[in-house]
Structures are given as structure tokens and as C-alpha cells.
Amino acid sequence: MSASAKGRSLALRESISTDGVPLKRRKITHWIGRNWARIVYSHQVEPVWLETNVFELPIPHLDERLDGVSILHLTDFHLGDRVAKRHIRQAVDLGQQQACDLIALTGDFVQGGFRHVDPVAEMLSKLSAPLGVYAVLGNHDYAVRNASGLRLHRGLAERVRKSLEDYGIPVLHNEHRIVAKEGAPLAVAGVADLWSREADLRQALAGLDSETPRVVLAHNPTTIEQLETLRCDLMLSGHTHGGQIDVPGWGRPMLSRKMKGYAAGLYYHQGGFLYVNKGIGYTVRFRFRVRPEVAVMRLVRANLGAL
């Protein structure tokens, strides 16, 4: 056999696997299988596979009576035709099991109209905490789909606010409340959603004693850019859903360039923390490497020498 015939024979043997299936066809089959499995997982499993994340946040000058105070943070429920009530009930149960001192709900309670408002408020009324449960509204509660301010359901925000308050959950609209643990004050402020064009962070924090630690509830994390000279020890936000998809080597294609800067997790800004929660629900039933989240923030006295 000539050298060139031997080479062709070797190449032929290498392209045939031991069971006689050409390697190229086998690779394609594996690729389709792997990606089909990922798609099924991202549609069926991950959107309703809750995770609990607990953080310990050092807060300077925190009164020792507030040391260890815990805040449960839930957001972006999106009750509607796509997100099942069962999923939200599971999140509420998991959240309540954390036995936190305070509960913060940061908007997007409904998606798709008025008929979902009372059901989601009724489900959230199962949450309780010694220092109370507080809420702010998100862009979907205002039925605002984009930054241009286009509204699909006028009056929805008022309806969501009334229903939550009827079920015992105060909705903070550019205002704050003082709660106290063993007499030590903690301010809980809430800001209207940015896209509603009603957000006023300065008004929400107006009149606060400079010594009082403050937690701000704001649906859209970019609200933190309006802090300017104001102080916020912790801002709790949602809105991004973590992008819902996080592809290795590609990132989060569903987020705009600006929102990629606030995709998910903990950020440090002007001496305070911003936490961007990945949310409970979704706008499209698809999550990949961005599981829905129950978050707990535990505030602790900062060791100023370590900062």
C-alpha cells in the first residue's frame, strides 16, 4: 500500500467511532442533546427553583440594639398568566421560615392587569415580622413597560397600593417610617419607581436624623444614582431579574448595557450597600444560572478599624 493510501485509510478509521457512527454525526447529536437538556432545564426547572441567600452587612455606627437585625427581601413576583400562584406561595413560605425582623417587598407584584392584584396581595399577607412588612411599587405595577413612560393600564398602581394596604402591607411612596428594636430607631424609606416619573428620593429621606440608620426600598437599582449628597446604608432593589439568563462567556443578553452594571447581587456605593435581588417571578418563563431568590440581609455593627 502506498503512503498516501495508508494516510486515507487512517483518516477514515479516525472519523468512525467504535460503534460505527461517524464522529461528526455523533458530535452534532451530543450538541443537540446537551442544548435541548439546557432548554428544558431553563424552562421547567430553574424558573421555579428557589434559592436562599443570606448576607451579613457591616453598617457603621449601628446602634448595638440593632446589631444583627435581619431583613427579608422579596421582589418581582409578576403574578399573571405566566407565573403560577404556587411558585409565589412557596417563596412566601420560604421567606417566612427565615424569621426575619423586617420584611421588604420591592415591587412588580403583578403582570398583565387588574385581576391579579387581590390574589397576590392576599398571598403576601401571610408574611409577618416584628418590625413590619413594607412595600414599594415597580414599573409593572404602574403598567409602565419602558423608560419612555408608556402606560397600558391606567389606575393600576392605585389599585395595587390599595389592595396591599387593605391586606396590611403599607406601600411607601417617597416617604419613610421609623421602626424600633428595643427602642433603637431604624428608618425604612420607600421610593416610587423611576419609570413612573414620580420617584423622589430626597423627599423619601426628608427630615431624618443624620444618626438614624436607613434602609431604602427602590424597585429600580439605578435609583441609587440619585443619592447625590444623601446617605443610604442599604438600598434594596429588584427589576433586573438578574437578566434571567447568564451564559458563560457571553453574559446576560437580556439586560441593557446600563443595567448590566446593576445585574444582581451586592454593590457598594457612596459608603452604603445596594442589593439587587434576582426576583421571584419572570416576564418570560426562562432562567439559566439565575435562580429565583429569597434574600436575607443581616445588619451588623461595623468594625470601623477594618473598613
> Whose Cβ is closer to Fe ion: residue 28's or residue 284's?
284
**Smallest distance, Å, CB 260 to Fe ion?**
16
> Whose Cβ is closer to Fe ion: residue 70's or residue 240's?
240
Q: What is the DSSP letter of 84?
A: -
**Smallest distance, Å, CB 107 to Fe ion?**
7
Torsion of CA 290, 291, 293, 296, to 10 degrees: -70
Applying CB under 5 A, what is the total number of residues that bind Fe ion? 2
**Smallest distance, Å, CB 74 to Fe ion?**
12
On whether the CB atoms of residues 151 and 143 are closer than 8 A, the answer is yes
Site string for Fe ion, 105-124 (x = CB under 5 A): ---x----------------
Cα–Cα nearest to 130, from 176, 72, 77: 72
User: Could you give the CA distance from residue 274 to residue 268 in angstroms, rounded to a whole number?
Assistant: 6
In 3-state terms, what secondary structure has residue 91? helix
Strand arrangement, sheet containing 272-276:
175-181, 184-191, 214-218, 234-237, 272-276, 265-269
User: Could you give the CA distance from residue 91 to residue 74 in angstroms, rounded to a whole number?
Assistant: 8
In 3-state terms, what secondary structure has residue 3? helix
Residues 48-107, interacting with Fe ion (CB under 5 A): 76
Q: What is the DSSP letter of 110?
A: B
> Whose Cβ is closer to Fe ion: residue 76's or residue 101's?
76
User: Could you give the CA distance from residue 15 to residue 258 in angstroms, rounded to a whole number?
Assistant: 47
**Smallest distance, Å, CB 160 to Fe ion?**
13
> Whose Cβ is closer to Fe ion: residue 203's or residue 222's?
222
**Smallest distance, Å, CB 271 to Fe ion?**
28
On whether the CB atoms of residues 101 and 181 are closer than 8 A, the answer is yes
> Whose Cβ is closer to Fe ion: residue 213's or residue 221's?
221
**Smallest distance, Å, CB 140 to Fe ion?**
6
Report residue 176 CA to chain centroid gap: 22
Which helix (H) or strand (E) segment holds residue 74: the answer is strand 70-74
User: Could you give the CA distance from residue 90 to residue 68 in angstroms, rounded to a whole number?
Assistant: 26
> Whose Cβ is closer to Fe ion: residue 176's or residue 219's?
219
Q: Which three cell numbers stand for residue 183?
A: 427602642
> Whose Cβ is closer to Fe ion: residue 142's or residue 288's?
142
**Smallest distance, Å, CB 108 to Fe ion?**
4
Cα–Cα nearest to 173, from 163, 159, 187, 161: 161
**Smallest distance, Å, CB 239 to Fe ion?**
6
> Whose Cβ is closer to Fe ion: residue 213's or residue 243's?
243
Q: Which residue ranges make up the site for Fe ion (CB under 5 A)? A: 76, 108
